[in-house]
Chains A and B, each alone.
Chain A
Amino acid sequence: MRRMLTVGVGLSTSLVLAGCATNAPQDTFQPKGPNAQMIDDLQKPVFAVAGIIGVIVTVAVLYAIYKFRDRGQPIPEQTHGKPALEITLTIIPALILTVVGVFTFRTVFDLAKTSDTEMIINVTGQQWWWEYDYPVQNEYGITQPIITSGQLVIPVGTKVMLRQTSRDVIHSYWIPALNGKRDAVPGRVHLNRIEADEPGIYAGQCTEFCGLSHANMRMEAVALSKADFAKWVAGQLKPYTPPAENTLAKEGEAVFVNQCARCHQVNGMKRADGTAIIAAPDESVVSGAAPNLSHLMSRNTFAGAMFDLLNTSCRKDVWDADSESFGAKYLQGVSEDCLNQSDLRGWLRNAPEMKPMYVNPELLSSTGGKYRGMPYLGLTESDIEKLVAYLLTLK
């Protein structure tokens, strides 16, 4: 039995070591910003101490098993213990924990600091995607509110404060490389500090169970150099340019106005009479909002970051770019050559089939007929063709 246990412990230790070498995008031990770094500095020693204590206890038990097994020795003395030993062994862990407690206290308050905020972004969770809106902040060139979804874009080396809330159920915002989780709770505003050291793209995932498609509610944070960020802001503030007459895209615009503009806002889009087209998602969606598609092709993902807008090779190109060239590559957006045609078309053809959502009319009686997610639209293949051409113009 002893041998088996030893082998077991040895095997599991080596497996653990092997397991840590995978470079997973959501690894919690690879901080890429000061907040996550603070957590990492705290958790590494704690894990080490816990590991050491675990080994000590296991070895003590194994030794006792070996040493005191029944070898015909007489019945041992019926002693009820040694209080001095007990008290010592109570005080030692208490002391260790006191030390850990002091550092924990400090880190908790450091991570809750708000006075040094340099930039504000409002983050709103909804089944099953995230909306980001940037309030007017002239120092960053944000002269009008910017609204986007799927990818959060931040400048590097800037202390960004996310003000998080939710429209329906509780979600949780988590980009492991930048900071720990913070729940987005409806009716409350929760603050979450993030800051990235280097340009790059950081993966995350909603971590509070939020219903049917919880597994598909992902997010990505994109950090750009300050110059690139300014370019991104300028791109987001670019006014709407309708597609040229007599193109496929122009026909696509008409399809969009008929089918999509009920829920999806494209800023600056106007009717023939010159009035603005304002989406009214509150009339058909429980949470009252749908992603704003104004500059869709400047993002790399859609449908709550579940699918990529870039095809596999272009995506790899962006994700693997070094920090020098990353900004330029990201700012290219999605060109026709790079577009992930199959997922986008599949989505337009039948969204609920690609992502579980509550859009089955039989299940909508409790919501008064409103959807949670994007319903099946019954678009024809030619409509889809036109729409894709149009969406490609939303740079």
Chain B
Amino acid sequence: MAIIERPPSTEVATPATPSSSLGALKRPVSTTGWKSWVFTVDHKKLGIMYSATALFFFIVGGLEAVLIRLQLAAPNGKVLNADLYNQMFTMHATTMVFLFVMPMAAGLANYFIPLQIGARDVAFPRINAFGFWAFLFGGIFINLSWFMGGAADGGWFMYAPNSGPVFSPSHGIDFWTLGLQITGIASLTGAVNLITTVLNMRAPGMKLMRMPIFTWMQLVVQFLLLFAVPVITVALFLLSFQRNFGATFFDVASGADPLLWQHLFWIFGHPEVYILILPSFGVISEVLPVFSRKPLFGYPFVVFSGAAIGFVGWGVWAHHMFASGLGPVSVAVFSVATMAIAVPTGVKVVNWTMTLWGGKLEFTVAMKFAIGLIVLFTIGGLSGVTHSVAPSDTQQTDTYYIVAHFHYVLFGGAIFGLFSGFYYWWPKVFGKLLNEKLGTWNFWLMVIGMNMTFGPMHILGLQGQPRRMYVWTEQRAGEGFFNLGFWNTFASIGSLILTVGVLLFLINIVITARNGKIAPLDPWNARSLEWMTSNPPKEHNFDSIPTVSHLDEFFHRKYQEDANGQMVQVKTAEQVLKELEDNADAHIHMPSPSYWPIIIALGLPVIAFGMIYSIPISIVGGVIVLFGVYGWAIEPSTAPDDDFDPPTTTKDVVHVG
């Protein structure tokens, strides 16, 4: 924040107040307390807030999942009624996709991309803050529907015309639609911000092909978001207008075709799948090399296969619609395109396995989760290939086989990757190591629970149990002890084990926060730039911006080949860091905190409330947004030097404004 004349020699900084900034509100100046979080534009604080919020929604979505499994544990379940069950599975998917995995990945991206590319912040810090608040308010807005007449009940895919006002008279879908618009704004601003950051703010010498793989995968994700979110925005607007203002975009009697929604939704929805999974691919592509003590096998292949997935991912959306009646030509073409996308995905699995091959493997919890991802994601990927075969998919689609498939991909893939990232980066963010022993329990309970929950769903689906049914009956469950009833109960028990596994992670957080081991500077003997700074990093990330000459720059500063071609350690992490400190930059200008991002974000749910209940409320929200935009526009992003009291003339003074 503000100006740093010299890197602080002590932890105590002398705060200064901006004196004459023009604007309704003087700049926030707190460096501690809740204000320093609410008005911050620091990418690290925002990253932590993104992740913490996402974790909260993970718990919410998890509870919804447990309720679903309890309902289905026995035939004709009585835990939930049909209406509540439909809301539950809709919100479970919505929460997990839009409010957990996406923002969690955004949180990691926010925190680590600037660190990994040697930047001091993102390109647009205030927009970054605005994005976080829009996500938070959007997420809260969607979930408010639980208390205001019921949540959305049309499934996360929200097929028209079942999502129309006639077929879903509660306001749930209105909350869902408008809430997703708000979180969509967050995703879009985040995408623009991170793309600009990665393309323009890399440290000197960091060519694109020297960029850490996590940053690469996130870059692909941000491009996917940039092009996918507008599509769902259009679809959601059509739905909003149909529900709130009597439009007839999906009304058959007016000559509409309901398949329009499906195309729009899946043109967004399929790239969305890669938006969810690629960040985790990035995470484990960082973790596997570190704990194998060798570089990522085939780095360029992993990069290009990621980019290829990003491209081909746009041409496969209709494989969600093989049963929709598209006609044989479309079905055949999309079927083959879907098979094609399996190839770059397979390349990644091969490269991870080959990274392990010939390494010196250390099985930390982060590594365990990463290896878990390889195996579980492969299972999910292969079941994915089986339903790229369109005729076979017409038997399996909308059955539990699909549920099994995407939980292996998203839980075994995306979430295992995120957990790997948690254990790997925790010491970087909080300066303390998560408990490895508890972490091992956490890992194994999650592996067992996840396989017990989702493994039997393959059987359930292939034996003909459709999805989204609030009850199943004995009549269709088959004979014998191992009938569908058994597997349903089995899966429900598995979900409880899974819950305990996740609970252990939360307990681990608490224990670590209370009396966790203080992390050494380089606890994992890591390879990339984010470890080339203190734990947790200073506000300005790096005392001097490093010049990059290798992929895995940090590793190559620590290790060099000796005369025999053997890698030997030449410097410790402390020595590398000392070099950077000694060459510290004299004048570091950091962006200043601002009130405006949160004010604008606050206006958005007000507008949305007005759309549902009464238009004048929307006008109030609009005025708030306009007020915020105006204030934002006249406030310079960084306070000028003379805006401080006293003016910055002496050295060794840190101005935080």
A and B touch in the complex (CB under 8 A): yes
Interface residues of A, Cβ cutoff 8 Å to B: 1, 4, 8, 12, 15-16, 18-29, 36, 38-39, 42-43, 46-47, 50-51, 53-54, 57-58, 60-61, 64-65, 68-70, 73-83, 85-86, 89-90, 93-94, 97, 100-101, 104-105, 107-109, 111-112, 127, 164, 168-170, 172, 174, 176, 179-183, 185-188, 190-191, 203, 205-216, 218, 286, 356, 358, 363, 365-367, 372
The answer to whether B86 touches A68, judged by C-beta atoms less than 8 angstroms apart, is no
Tell me the dominant secondary structure on chain A's binding face.
Answer: mixed
Chain B residues 438 to 474 lying within 8 A of chain A, measured CB to CB, are 444, 447-448, 451, 455-456, 458-459, 461-472
Known A22-B478, A185-B259: A38·B471 in contact at CB below 8 Å: no
The answer to whether A42 touches B382, judged by C-beta atoms less than 8 angstroms apart, is no
A residues in contact with B383, CB < 8 Å? 50
A residues in contact with B167, CB < 8 Å? 127, 168-169, 211, 372
The residue on B at minimum CB distance from A9 is: B375
From the candidates A19, A46, A58, name the one contacting B459 in the complex (CB within 8 A).
Answer: A19
Alpha-carbon distance between A60 and B157 when the two chains are bound, in angstroms = 37
Extra inter-chain contacts (20) besides given A180-B391, A209-B159, CB under 8 Å? A1-B368, A22-B479, A23-B478, A24-B477, A27-B462, A65-B371, A76-B567, A80-B298, A81-B299, A86-B350, A108-B331, A170-B258, A181-B398, A206-B466, A208-B398, A209-B157, A210-B162, A213-B82, A215-B470, A363-B169
Known A68-B357, A81-B301, A107-B391: A366·B169 in contact at CB below 8 Å: yes
The residue on A at minimum CB distance from B330 is: A108
Q: List 8 A-B contacts (CB under 8 A).
A: A24-B463, A39-B391, A75-B567, A78-B567, A104-B390, A207-B398, A211-B168, A358-B169
A residues in contact with B363, CB < 8 Å? 1, 65, 69
Known A25-B476, A68-B360, A215-B469: A89·B347 in contact at CB below 8 Å: yes
Alpha-carbon distance between A65 and B291 when the two chains are bound, in angstroms = 12
Alpha-carbon distance between A81 and B297 when the two chains are bound, in angstroms = 5
Alpha-carbon distance between A169 and B461 when the two chains are bound, in angstroms = 24
Known A42-B389, A65-B356, A86-B301: A26·B394 in contact at CB below 8 Å: no
Alpha-carbon distance between A286 and B164 when the two chains are bound, in angstroms = 13
Q: Does B238 contact A (CB under 8 A)?
A: no
Q: Does B179 contact A (CB under 8 A)?
A: no
Nearest CB in chain A: distance from B208 CB, A: 16
The answer to whether A43 touches B451, judged by C-beta atoms less than 8 angstroms apart, is no
The answer to whether B343 touches A186, judged by C-beta atoms less than 8 angstroms apart, is no
The answer to whether A54 touches B379, judged by C-beta atoms less than 8 angstroms apart, is yes
The answer to whether A39 touches B378, judged by C-beta atoms less than 8 angstroms apart, is no
From the candidates A181, A187, A212, name the one contacting B83 in the complex (CB within 8 A).
Answer: A212
Alpha-carbon distance between A187 and B155 when the two chains are bound, in angstroms = 22
Q: Does B324 contact A (CB under 8 A)?
A: yes
From the candidates A24, A69, A100, name the one contacting B476 in the complex (CB within 8 A).
Answer: A24
Q: Does B336 contact A (CB under 8 A)?
A: yes
Nearest CB in chain A: distance from B211 CB, A: 14
B residues in contact with A54, CB < 8 Å? 378-379, 382
B residues in contact with A27, CB < 8 Å? 462-464, 478
Known A39-B392, A90-B347: A80·B297 in contact at CB below 8 Å: yes
Alpha-carbon distance between A47 and B363 when the two chains are bound, in angstroms = 32
Nearest CB in chain B: distance from A341 CB, A: 18
Known A108-B331, A190-B325: A50·B385 in contact at CB below 8 Å: yes
Number of residues from B at the complex interface, CB < 8 A: 116
From the candidates B169, B356, B455, name the one contacting A365 in the complex (CB within 8 A).
Answer: B169
The answer to whether A19 touches B463, judged by C-beta atoms less than 8 angstroms apart, is yes
Binds A, one of B26-34, B220-228, B480-488: B480-488
Q: Does B127 contact A (CB under 8 A)?
A: no
The answer to whether B391 touches A43, judged by C-beta atoms less than 8 angstroms apart, is yes
The answer to whether A176 touches B464, judged by C-beta atoms less than 8 angstroms apart, is yes
The residue on B at minimum CB distance from A20 is: B459
Q: Does B146 contact A (CB under 8 A)?
A: no
The answer to whether B161 touches A12, judged by C-beta atoms less than 8 angstroms apart, is no
Known A81-B299, A86-B350, A211-B167: A188·B463 in contact at CB below 8 Å: no
Q: Does B12 contact A (CB under 8 A)?
A: no
The residue on B at minimum CB distance from A315 is: B475
Nearest CB in chain B: distance from A193 CB, A: 12
The answer to whether B463 touches A93, judged by C-beta atoms less than 8 angstroms apart, is no
The answer to whether B478 touches A53, judged by C-beta atoms less than 8 angstroms apart, is no
Alpha-carbon distance between A191 and B331 when the two chains are bound, in angstroms = 14
Chain B residues 67 to 93 lying within 8 A of chain A, measured CB to CB, are 81-83, 86
From the candidates B83, B157, B294, B346, name the one contacting A93 in the complex (CB within 8 A).
Answer: B346
A residues in contact with B325, CB < 8 Å? 164, 182-183, 185, 188, 190-191
The residue on A at minimum CB distance from B460 is: A19
From the candidates A29, A38, A78, A212, name the one contacting B391 in the complex (CB within 8 A).
Answer: A38
The answer to whether A76 touches B258, judged by C-beta atoms less than 8 angstroms apart, is no
The residue on B at minimum CB distance from A39 is: B391
The answer to whether B566 touches A74, judged by C-beta atoms less than 8 angstroms apart, is yes
The answer to whether B298 touches A86, judged by C-beta atoms less than 8 angstroms apart, is yes
The answer to whether B332 touches A12, judged by C-beta atoms less than 8 angstroms apart, is no
Nearest CB in chain B: distance from A207 CB, A: 4
A residues in contact with B349, CB < 8 Å? 57
The residue on A at minimum CB distance from B551 is: A80
Alpha-carbon distance between A286 and B551 when the two chains are bound, in angstroms = 64
The answer to whether B360 touches A58, judged by C-beta atoms less than 8 angstroms apart, is no
B residues in contact with A90, CB < 8 Å? 343, 346-347
7 pairs of A and B residues whose beta carbons are closest in the complex: A26-B464, A180-B394, A24-B478, A215-B469, A22-B478, A81-B298, A190-B325
Alpha-carbon distance between A108 and B392 when the two chains are bound, in angstroms = 10
The answer to whether B482 touches A21, judged by C-beta atoms less than 8 angstroms apart, is yes
Alpha-carbon distance between A365 and B170 when the two chains are bound, in angstroms = 11
The answer to whether B361 touches A43, judged by C-beta atoms less than 8 angstroms apart, is no
Chain B residues 229 to 269 lying within 8 A of chain A, measured CB to CB, are 252, 256-259
Known A22-B478, A108-B328, A205-B476: A186·B353 in contact at CB below 8 Å: no
Contact with A along B162-192 (1 / 0, CB 8 A): 1001111100000000000000000000000
The answer to whether A75 touches B343, judged by C-beta atoms less than 8 angstroms apart, is no
From the candidates B343, B356, B391, B475, name the one contacting A104 in the complex (CB within 8 A).
Answer: B391
Nearest CB in chain A: distance from B92 CB, A: 14
Q: Does B516 contact A (CB under 8 A)?
A: no
The answer to whether B166 touches A101, judged by C-beta atoms less than 8 angstroms apart, is no
Alpha-carbon distance between A288 and B392 when the two chains are bound, in angstroms = 35
Alpha-carbon distance between A46 and B389 when the two chains are bound, in angstroms = 8
Alpha-carbon distance between A131 and B462 when the two chains are bound, in angstroms = 27
The residue on B at minimum CB distance from A102 is: B336
Alpha-carbon distance between A82 and B399 when the two chains are bound, in angstroms = 41
From the candidates B83, B386, B394, name the one contacting A46 in the complex (CB within 8 A).
Answer: B386
The answer to whether B82 touches A212, judged by C-beta atoms less than 8 angstroms apart, is yes
Alpha-carbon distance between A94 and B323 when the two chains are bound, in angstroms = 25
Chain B residues 14 to 48 lying within 8 A of chain A, measured CB to CB, are none
Contact with A along B485-512 (1 / 0, CB 8 A): 0010000000000000000000000000
Known A168-B161, A188-B325, A209-B162: A64·B353 in contact at CB below 8 Å: yes
The answer to whether B323 touches A181, judged by C-beta atoms less than 8 angstroms apart, is yes
Q: Does B435 contact A (CB under 8 A)?
A: no
A residues in contact with B259, CB < 8 Å? 185, 188
The answer to whether B335 touches A104, judged by C-beta atoms less than 8 angstroms apart, is yes
The answer to whether B398 touches A75, judged by C-beta atoms less than 8 angstroms apart, is no
The answer to whether B395 touches A8, judged by C-beta atoms less than 8 angstroms apart, is no
Nearest CB in chain A: distance from B567 CB, A: 4
B residues in contact with A127, CB < 8 Å? 167
B residues in contact with A82, CB < 8 Å? 298
B residues in contact with A73, CB < 8 Å? 360
The residue on A at minimum CB distance from B356 is: A64
The answer to whether A68 touches B356, judged by C-beta atoms less than 8 angstroms apart, is yes
Known A24-B477, A54-B382: A19·B456 in contact at CB below 8 Å: yes
Alpha-carbon distance between A93 and B477 when the two chains are bound, in angstroms = 36
Alpha-carbon distance between A81 and B302 when the two chains are bound, in angstroms = 11
The answer to whether A211 touches B297, judged by C-beta atoms less than 8 angstroms apart, is no
The answer to whether A80 touches B378, judged by C-beta atoms less than 8 angstroms apart, is no
Q: Does B136 contact A (CB under 8 A)?
A: no
Alpha-carbon distance between A22 and B394 when the two chains are bound, in angstroms = 22
Q: Does B103 contact A (CB under 8 A)?
A: no
The answer to whether A104 touches B332, judged by C-beta atoms less than 8 angstroms apart, is yes
